[in-house]
Amino acid sequence: MSANKVGKVLRLFTSKSGTSERFLEQKLLLDTNGVLDDKFYSKNIERSVLIASTASYDLVSTYGIEMPFGYLGENILLDYNPYALEVGTKLKIGSAILEISQHCTICNHLTTIDVKIPTLLKNDRGVFAKVVQDGKINNEDKVYLV
């Protein structure tokens, strides 16, 4: 399998049942049902992992709006912008392989910091991916297109 390095993992997050709080993680364990120990595990495998880019945070900050990392609901924050990738594109991150399944939609909770955020990030919130190869992802892992 040929791979082209495109970026790296900057932050990892999970959501826990019963809370809207995001938890910063050092590693994620994934299987074909999603991110283990995440409240969305085994809910919808086509939307089991949310990948976002610092480009979204940079875009919002150009309008004077500060958002903390994790605010977009991402599991994986990259220094690479995957938003233009086609559905079906595969990424190798750590020992896991993820396949882009759809672009992320805008959620109403994004207005809690500023009502302009959903409009600003209409096409730049993130991408959903499904896990096609179980594995572990660590902070600082490299990201490859495969």
How far is residue 135's CA from residue 100's CA, in Å, rounded to a whole number?
16
- How many CB atoms within 10 Å of residue 124? 20
The pLDDT-based confidence of 94 (bands split at 50, 70, 90) is very high
The pLDDT-based confidence of 1 (bands split at 50, 70, 90) is low
| pLDDT value at residue 136 | 98
Question: What's the whole-number average pLDDT of the chain?
Answer: 93
| pLDDT value at residue 81 | 94
Q: Which pLDDT tens digit goes with each residue over 109-124?
A: 788 889 999 989 988 8
Q: Tokens 């791979």: give the residue.
A: 3
Mean pLDDT for 69-92 is 95
Question: Edge to edge, what strands does the sheet with 135-138 contain?
Answer: 34-35, 27-31, 135-138
Q: Which pLDDT tens digit goes with each residue over 18-68?
A: 887 889 999 999 999 999 999 999 999 999 999 999 999 999 999 999 999
How far is residue 53's CA from residue 94's CA, in Å, rounded to a whole number?
17
Q: 49-53 and 22-25: which strand pairing?
A: unpaired
| pLDDT value at residue 110 | 84
CATH architecture of 4-145: Beta Barrel (2.40)
How far is residue 104's CA from residue 124's CA, in Å, rounded to a whole number?
8
Q: 27-31 and 34-35: which strand pairing?
A: antiparallel
| pLDDT value at residue 122 | 87
For residues 106 and 113, the answer to whether their CB atoms sit within 8 Å is no
Q: Which contiguous run of DSSP H or E holds residue 61? A: helix 54-61
More confident residue, 75 or 119: 75
